[in-house]
Amino acid sequence: MKWLRKHRPAPGTAFGFAALMVALGGVAFAAIPDSNGIIHGCFKNNGNLRVVESAADCRNNENVLGWSQQGPQGPKGDTGVTGPQGREGTSGSNVVARARSTGDPVTLVDLAYGAPPSSASTIPMADATWTQAPGAIDRYFGQATITSPAPRGCPVFQSDYYSYAVLYLLVDGRLVGQANLAATGTGNYYTGNPDEVFSDSNGLTFTIRFYTSLYDFEQSAPVGHTLSVKAFDTCQNGTHYTVDSVKMDVVGTK
């Protein structure tokens, strides 16, 4: 008995140990909320409320109450106000003009190779005007269909002699591109591009491309432009090339 009195734990120590056991028991066994997210409670008519693990823990004189940590989804809210318009994005490239020749094929006049465009025949073009948008760079692409007057072009007297048909592309009167067709005494036709070599054994009508190195650089304000095509040949014996059609596209890039 003396030993028990001597070693009996203090009341505070016993209370702390009991609290620890309750806490540990709660960690081990409590399931609040339950697996479905429901918090269960029991309340009396006098307003006293206690939280329990499940509705089955309520006593006969208590009412069952359950609620969720996260409530049910509410109704859809009203549509918000429209936000400010965003900045204009880049538009990439698009065709801003499609100019096409009109009327009958044009028979060319003979001039010396390298003659100025003002002396050449005019190829009538439709839809040849457009407006260059601010900040856009305009480039030119096109092709022409040409018929030779006879095999090997104009009659030639030397196998290495060339006869030419030349087309000039002008924008606002400025020379921006050119298309050539040269015939030799050997029966071949050349355009200046190694990939474009034709033979008169395959016919006398050829589609050739324009080669352009110039373009209209971007401007700060809209600018109107007009496209035109001039052409001539070097035949001097009364037979000439004819231009059957010309197609030109203007591509604007921002």
For residue 141, is it within any domain?
yes
Residue-level pLDDT at 198: 78
43 and 132 within one domain = no
For residue 5, is it within any domain?
no
244 and 143 within one domain = yes
101 and 30 within one domain = no
148 and 27 within one domain = no
Report d(CA 232, CA 110) in Å as an integer.
6
In this structure, the dihedral spanned by the alpha carbons of residues 250, 109, 199 and 229, taken in order and rounded to 10 degrees, is 0
Report d(CA 252, CA 19) in Å as an integer.
82
* H-helix or E-strand spanning residue 167: strand 163-171
- φ, ψ dihedrals at 169, nearest 5°: -105, 125
Cα end-to-end span (Å), the chain: 102
How buried is residue 128: exposed, middle or buried, by Cβ count under 10 Å (0-12/13-18/19+)?
buried
Report d(CA 39, CA 37) in Å as an integer.
7
Could you tell me the residue range of the domain that residue 62 belongs to?
Answer: 16-68
Confidence label for 25 from pLDDT (cuts 50, 70 and 90): very low
For residue 8, is it within any domain?
no
Phi-psi domain of 60 (left: phi exceeds 0; alpha: psi -120 through 50; beta: other): alpha
Strand order across the 63-68 sheet:
49-52, 38-43, 63-68
Report d(CA 239, CA 109) in Å as an integer.
9
CATH number for position 122: 2.60.120
For residue 241, is it within any domain?
yes
How many structural domains are present in the chain?
2
pLDDT in tens, 45-95: 888 889 898 888 899 888 888 887 676 788 988 888 988 887 766 667 899
For residue 80, is it within any domain?
no
Q: Is the pLDDT of residue 168 over 90?
A: yes
Tokens for 168? 């000039």
128 and 53 within one domain = no
Report d(CA 254, CA 243) in Å as an integer.
34
pTM summary value: 0.61
246 and 123 within one domain = yes
Report d(CA 171, CA 228) in Å as an integer.
6
99 and 189 within one domain = yes
Separation in Å, CA 229 to CA 89, 142, 209: 35, 11, 13
Residue-level pLDDT at 200: 72
Residue-level pLDDT at 186: 72
Residue 44 CB neighbours (<10 A): 13
246 and 129 within one domain = yes
Of 138, 127, 148, nearest to 93 by C-alpha is: 138
Taking a C-beta distance cutoff of 8 angstroms, is the pair 218, 137 a contact? yes
97 and 183 within one domain = yes
For residue 81, is it within any domain?
no
172 and 102 within one domain = yes
For residue 7, is it within any domain?
no
Of 142, 139, 138, 140, nearest to 223 by C-alpha is: 138
Percent of the chain whose predicted confidence (pLDDT) is above 70: 80
pLDDT in tens, 169-226: 999 999 999 998 888 777 778 887 666 777 776 678 989 999 887 777 878 899 999 9
214 and 133 within one domain = yes
More confident residue, 197 or 35: 35
136 and 224 within one domain = yes
Taking a C-beta distance cutoff of 8 angstroms, is the pair 214, 237 a contact? no
